[in-house]
Amino acid sequence: MAVQKGASLPVPWAFGKRALLRNLLLFGHDVLSACDEVRDSGPVVKVVVGSGIHYVVNDGALVREILIDRGGAFSRQRESEALRATIGDVLFTLDGEAHRRRRRVMHPSFSMAAVRSDDAAVATLVDGFTDRWRSGERIDLHAEMRRLSVEVTLRVLLRCPVDETIAVSLAADIPILTQSIAARSAASGWRRATHGSHRHRSARRAAQRVHATVGSLLELRGALEGSDVVSRMRTTAAFVDGPPVLSSVQVVEEVVNFLVAGTEPTATILTWALHELSQNPRTERAVQQEADSVLSGGRLAPGLGSQLQTAFGVVKETLRCYPPPTLPREVGRDAVIGGYWFPAGTRILLNLHALHHDPERYQHPTMFDETRWLHGEALRAGPDAYLPFGAGAHRCVGASFAEMIAAVSLAAISRRYVLRTCQSGGPVDAESSSMTVPQGLMVIPLPRINGNKASGG
């Protein structure tokens, strides 16, 4: 049945047609302020981003409906093409039956039971990582959390030791890949087809290095069977009917995909979470006391990560306060959602930042308060008020994995160290792309002198 345009509402310009200049300038500078400004303009509004018109969806119910996409009208084509060009044909780039078969292989590896079996290993690795810190020495917090995320992610994916030199190299290459993917996704068609730029050449070289490193680590690991993600993937794949789901090349590509997809978001979550602890003494003490209790003797028995309720609350609140600002989609065929007409070819921005800061859903939405996740407020906000990992069939398969790594890492760091910021007040500089990434956040780690005194601190 054809979609009838006449039966639907036209999408208005944000601030009205006469404010076209304001629309042109809106997303050119401060993305987060732009997300806030358009929130009150209507459920769906038009803005100019770059050289094209985008529809910004501000209504949570409509955002969730588009993400679930039962009618198959909304695609991630540009993002999929960018990821395919950089990494290969991985879960994110697939649709339809190919996506369902691959996801059946991936999902058990990231189930809650599987994730909880890894929390003890994460805590031990974080302790070893922070042994390198020197009291009073300034560190770039985001760069440090990126290196930690690389080591932890590889440890859980492959369960094999990773040399510090390899981790440093991967931590340098992964941002090149994420920036290239974001640039390809945002570019117009002719620019996406142009691969001769310095950025694309640099990204190709970085991708080759990352693929080679992961391939070497898989060879080093060999046919070892165990409880790591790769073992679980291979075991599950053997029971999926039809042609083989994962070749050896595809295993490498999926590990690279998880490494790239997991490193930057986890590093960003940890950086903001640790920054918020340094600004909120009450929350900092609550996390420390919980860590002292649960991480007794510096060791976490498998499954005890579920007792880190305050740490998980801090992670969820961090994702609420600092989500991906927007999620892009493209209209594959004419559709009507919530009474609004979406013509084929339209670019869409799903305004997650506005949803997560909606004063009608959250009390004091600009305030960092992890207790909203402990006392039921966040649940009362509804399922369409918190969507950091998306929704529907394409919801991030590693969401529980990322939250576990962040919560256990946060607790393990807080048990041993207090981090004090070097900057003198004011907001932290941040760059907004696929995530809101803090820039130049320097901190000084100080061994704790109360509670469980830091060992080796």
* Phi, psi of 120, deg, nearest 5: -65, -40
Task: Give the pLDDT confidence of 274-325 residue by residue, as tens digits.
Answer: 999 999 999 999 999 999 999 876 556 777 778 999 999 999 999 999 999 9
Domain ranges of the chain: 1-83+329-354, 89-324+357-447
Least confident of 26-30, 169-173, 357-361: 26-30
Name the residue with higher pLDDT: 328 or 24. 328
User: Is the torsion defined by CA of 366, 370, 375, 377 positive or negative?
Assistant: positive
Token readout for 411 is 């607790």
Name the residue with higher pLDDT: 419 or 433. 419
pLDDT over 50 at 457, yes or no: no
pLDDT, mean of residues 171-195: 75
pLDDT, mean of residues 161-166: 85
Q: What is the pTM of this model?
A: 0.90
Token readout for 308 is 């880190």
Q: Contact 196/86 with Cβ under 8 angstroms?
A: no
User: What pLDDT score was predicted for residue 24?
Assistant: 57
Name the residue with higher pLDDT: 2 or 415. 415
pLDDT over 60 at 162, yes or no: yes
Q: Contact 117/248 with Cβ under 8 angstroms?
A: no
User: What pLDDT score was predicted for residue 452?
Assistant: 47
Task: Give the pLDDT confidence of 360-369 residue by residue, as tens digits.
Answer: 999 999 999 9
pLDDT, mean of residues 170-188: 86
pLDDT over 80 at 265, yes or no: yes
* Phi, psi of 43, deg, nearest 5: -60, -40
Rounded Cα distance between 56 and 41, Å, is 10
Averaged pLDDT of the chain = 86
pLDDT over 50 at 190, yes or no: no
Residues 6+ apart with CB under 8 A from 451: 288, 289, 292, 415
User: What pLDDT score was predicted for residue 157?
Assistant: 85
375-379, Cβ contacts within 8 angstroms, sequence gap of 24 or more: 378/316, 378/320
User: What pLDDT score was predicted for residue 252?
Assistant: 92
pLDDT, mean of residues 79-107: 90
- At the top level of CATH, the class of 89-324+357-447 is mainly alpha
pLDDT over 90 at 423, yes or no: no
Q: Contact 46/13 with Cβ under 8 angstroms?
A: yes
Q: Contact 368/232 with Cβ under 8 angstroms?
A: no
Task: Give the pLDDT confidence of 365-413 residue by residue, as tens digits.
Answer: 999 999 999 988 888 889 999 999 999 989 999 999 899 999 999 999 9
The runs of H, that is alpha helices, within 161-307 are: 164-186, 189-192, 198-221, 229-237, 248-279, 281-294
How many residues are given for the chain? 457
Of the pLDDT bands very low, low, confident and very high (cuts 50, 70, 90), residue 143 is very high
Beta bridge partners of 327: 350
pLDDT, mean of residues 237-246: 74
Closest CA to 149 of 157, 209, 417: 157
**H and E: helices and strands count for the chain:** 18, 12
pLDDT over 90 at 6, yes or no: no
SS3 245: coil
Rounded Cα distance between 282 and 289, Å, is 11
Task: Give the pLDDT confidence of 433-453 residue by residue, as tens digits.
Answer: 778 888 889 999 999 975 544
Of the options 3.30.1520.10, 1.20.140.10, 3.40.50.720, 3.30.43.20, the CATH number for the domain spanning 1-83+329-354: 3.30.43.20
pLDDT, mean of residues 334-340: 93
Rounded Cα distance between 64 and 301, Å, is 37
Name the residue with higher pLDDT: 357 or 262. 357
User: What pLDDT score was predicted for residue 324?
Assistant: 92
The share of the chain scoring above pLDDT 90, in percent, equals 52
